[in-house]
């Protein structure tokens, strides 16, 4: 029997090109409920190479909706276990796994792939990956779920709306509040925030959290434990885990909906790889409602002024701001306007410090500064326009 016999039934589809799949590479960010299903689907279909990234570890609650994991895998790296299981499913597929945050991967990793699948559970990482895809001109397929509901969106860079185009409507309220708040806070702020939620911590405990750059309730809920375990003492880690257990209410999820969302994403990805031979790629937002058994398409318009995929990406974004104000005040304004919780300002080849005054460091109306943030792959050029001009 030839190697093609494994794929006999799918190669009977008119327009199907198995050799094209053999020569394709895809990147999957997150190998949980949705990402694991996408990876399994593509592996069975005979994709040439899978590149997986997930910094998380297998836990018991994963096993009800994540096919690639077993009881014996508890505590192990999701990326490593998934890669091993996928190789068992189809030994002819090459699998590369990264058990780390996608934002620390080199640019070459993303340049080497044909399609990017976003199967992430937080908006910050999705925004960053979206900006990577647009910057490198790589198609992105984003999928998410909440209980019986799921969404899928295909982003064709500079042809369709990207995730940032509709971010004001799509970011969950809690994340939006965190994204738009510059983290220039003190431990007393965190103590008061927790007190309002009925949780008592003292200023000393809050100070220790601040030393780990955990300054908001949102940080407590979503800080990556693997990045701070080596620098935090055991008492702080226990405090963080206790607070997280009280605060975190995980989104409901079931395997059947994950399978539907992943199935749609996989099909869209295969169509993308075939370049039109299997029909047009759906644009807009595909919404699945499992309760009413309804699949809908929602039109999404591309924003010509989008900071990621705008029509004229060579033209800096104009931003009105007084030159007599400090860099800190500018950062606060940028955080509010663009949802950057951690903007850094670069001008004249150096990073400006918070206490510096724009006019005193030589910034004039019409000058271009650059803003770096963990929400974007590349610094954003901003043209400062003084209100007095």
| Segment 329-371, tens digit of pLDDT | 999 899 888 888 888 999 998 999 999 999 999 999 999 999 9
Burial letters for 76-93: b for 16+ Cβ neighbours within 10 Å, e otherwise? bbbbbbbbebbeeebeeb
Separation of alpha carbons 248 and 265, rounded Å = 28
* Whether residue 165 lies in the annotated active site: no
Calculate mean pLDDT across residues 269-282.
95
Give me the pLDDT at residue 218, please: 76
pLDDT top residue among 137 and 335? 137
> Measured between alpha carbons, how far is 356 from 331 in angstroms, rounded to an integer?
12
Q: What percent of the chain has pLDDT over 90?
A: 68
pLDDT confidence tier of residue 172, bands split at 50, 70 and 90: low
pTM, two decimal places = 0.87
**CA 209-213-241 angle, 5° bins:** 45
Give residue 46's pLDDT. 97
106/112 Cα distance (integer angstroms): 11
Contact 179, 340 (CB under 8 A): yes
**Residue 181: what pLDDT?**
65
Task: Please identify which residue in the block is written with the tokens 């995980």.
Answer: 250
Structure tokens at 361: 């460091």
Residues of the chain with CATH 3.10.290.20: 317-385
What is the 8-class DSSP label of residue 352? P
* pLDDT of 266: 98
Which residue among the candidates 162, 165, 180, 306 is catalytic per the annotation?
Answer: 180
Percent of the chain surpassing pLDDT 70: 91
Chain region(s) in the chain for CATH 3.40.50.720: 3-171+252-298
The CATH homologous superfamily for domain 317-385 is Ubiquitin-like 2 activating enzyme e1b. Chain:  B, domain 3 (3.10.290.20)
Using CA atoms, how far apart are residues 57 and 77, in angstroms rounded to an integer? 5
d(CA 216, CA 206): 10
User: In which band, very low, low, confident or very high, does the pLDDT at 203 lie, cut at 50, 70 and 90?
Assistant: very high
* pLDDT at 28 (0 to 100): 98
Q: Above 90 in pLDDT, residue 113?
A: yes
User: How confident is the model at residue 327, as a pLDDT?
Assistant: 94
The answer to whether the beta carbons of residues 225 and 237 sit under 8 Å apart is yes
DSSP state at residue 62 = G
What are the DSSP calls for 251-302, one per residue?
PPB-HHHHHHHHHHHHHHHHHHHTTTTT-PPP-SEEEEETTTTEEEEE----
Q: Which of 195, 185, 210, 209 is nearest to 341 (CA)?
A: 185
Q: Is the confidence at residue 224, as pLDDT, over 70?
A: no
**Domain 3-171+252-298, classified CATH 2.60.260.40, yes or no:** no
Mean pLDDT of the region 293-303? 93
pLDDT tens digits, residue range 15-51? 999 999 999 999 999 999 999 999 999 999 999 999 9
pLDDT value of position 307: 92
Q: Collapsing DSSP states into helix, strand and coil, what is residue 138? A: coil
Separation of alpha carbons 131 and 143, rounded Å: 16
């Amino acid at each position: 029997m030839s190697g093609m016999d494994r794929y006999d039934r799918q190669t009977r589809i008119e327009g199907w090109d198995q050799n094209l799949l053999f020569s394709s590479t895809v990147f999957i960010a997150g190998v949980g409920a949705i990402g694991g299903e996408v990876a399994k689907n593509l592996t069975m279909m005979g994709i040439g190479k899978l590149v997986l990234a997930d910094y998380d570890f297998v836990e018991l609650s994963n096993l009800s909706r994540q096919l690639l994991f077993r009881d014996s895998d508890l505590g192990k790296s999701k990326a490593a276990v998934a890669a091993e299981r996928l190789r068992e499913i189809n030994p002819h597929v090459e699998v590369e796994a990264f058990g780390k945050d996608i934002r620390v991967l080199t640019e070459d990793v993303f340049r080497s792939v044909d399609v990017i699948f976003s199967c992430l559970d937080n908006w910050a990482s999705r925004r960053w990956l979206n900006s990577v895809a647009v910057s490198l001109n790589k198609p992105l397929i984003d999928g998410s779920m909440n209980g019986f509901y799921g969404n899928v969106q295909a982003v064709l860079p500079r042809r369709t709306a990207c995730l940032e185009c509709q971010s004001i409507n799509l970011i969950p309220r809690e994340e939006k509040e965190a994204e738009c708040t510059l983290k220039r806070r003190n431990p007393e702020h965190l103590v008061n925030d927790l007190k309002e939620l009925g949780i008592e911590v003292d200023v000393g405990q809050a100070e220790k959290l601040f030393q780990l750059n955990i300054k908001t309730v949102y940080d407590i809920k979503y800080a990556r434990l693997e990045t701070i375990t080596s620098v935090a003492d055991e008492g702080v880690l226990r405090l963080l885990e206790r607070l997280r257990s009280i605060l975190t209410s995980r989104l409901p999820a079931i395997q059947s909906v994950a399978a539907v969302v992943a199935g749609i994403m996989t099909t869209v990805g295969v169509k993308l790889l075939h370049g039109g031979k299997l029909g047009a790629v759906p644009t807009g937002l595909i919404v699945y409602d499992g309760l009413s058994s309804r699949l809908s398409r929602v039109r999404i318009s591309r924003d010509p002024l989008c900071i990621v995929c705008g029509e004229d990406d060579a033209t800096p974004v104009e931003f009105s701001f007084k030159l007599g104000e400090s860099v800190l005040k500018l950062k606060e304004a940028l955080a509010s306007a663009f949802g950057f919780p951690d903007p850094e300002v670069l001008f004249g080849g150096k990073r400006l410090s918070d206490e510096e005054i724009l006019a005193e460091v030589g910034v004039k109306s019409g000058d271009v500064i650059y803003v770096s943030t963990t929400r974007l792959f590349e610094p954003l050029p901003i043209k400062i326009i003084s209100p007095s001009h």
